[in-house]
Amino acid sequence: MRFFDLFDEKNERRLVDLLAGLMIGIAPIVHLIVVGGIKIPYGRHTSRSWGPALSARVSWLLMESPAILVPVYLTLTVNADVPFTNWILLAMYITHYTNRSIIYPLRIRGGKASPIFIVFLAFVFTTCNGYMQTLYHLRCANYDSDWIYQPNFIVGASLFIWGMRTNIICDGILRDLRKPGETGYKIPHGSMFEYVSCANLFAESVEWTGFALASWSIQAAAFAIFTTLMLSARSYTHHEWYLKKFDNYPKHRKIFVPYLI
């Protein structure tokens, strides 16, 4: 018996609602922990005190791969008549993680190792979220055929596209800061980096906020809330690091939201 068959339709909806509630519940806790001083130990904040580590490329592949593997597995094994609009929303989710779990790791230049413990936590999260988003959009959601013409979908899809495009551009800016053989950190410039310290993280938050609007579901909203609180906390620690590291760091740059925060 497949794991997917263990749940009838009623229990499946309860499961995805439970997962969404848990995600919303832990989001502010994680935010406060990170802002409070416990930095996530990878990248510039890597610490050997967290135990054995894996290379940056391997870490990203392992952390993000469930976000592709789980949806693909469920898509291939689901036994349901899925409306076209549901496929569009699921395709948005998979498109992001195709870049994040395959293309992005392959383009990493160097990068610092990540503790295995952090990789494991991220692996669990992407597995659960991939399961929740896919199960909801394949088995629980029932969108009308004209859903894609509704204002929330149009605005949400537009934000998603802008966020993903900007996220990829900003990742490229960070990647190109160092020439082959160079080490150390530099101040990023260009695109949304002129407004916030962590433009790539801000753009990803916009991306998932757009997805939540387009989906109009508690499951997508839960992921957007968690992402925004997590990435804003990381942006805070990065911003503080930049200010301490560089005397000439642009003072007008905000932490996470252009012109505001």
CA-CA distance, 183 to 192, in Å (whole number)? 24
3-state SS assignment for residue 196: strand
Q: Is the pLDDT of residue 6 over 70?
A: no
Specify the pLDDT at position 11. Answer: 79
Mean predicted confidence (pLDDT) in 42-48:
62
- Measured in whole angstroms, the distance separating CA 37 from the mean position of its chain's CA atoms is 21
Position 254 pLDDT exceeds 70 = yes
Global pTM exceeds 0.85:
yes
Helix (H) or strand (E) holding 64: helix 56-64
Predicted pLDDT of residue 8:
58
53, β-bridge pairs: 115
Long-range (24+ apart) CB contacts under 8 A made by 14-18 are 15/135, 16/132, 16/135, 16/136, 16/140, 16/219, 17/218, 17/219
Residue 131 near residue 74, CB atoms below 8 Å:
yes
- As a whole number, the mean pLDDT across the chain is 88
Under a CB-based contact definition with an 8 Å cutoff, are residues 255 and 235 in contact?
yes
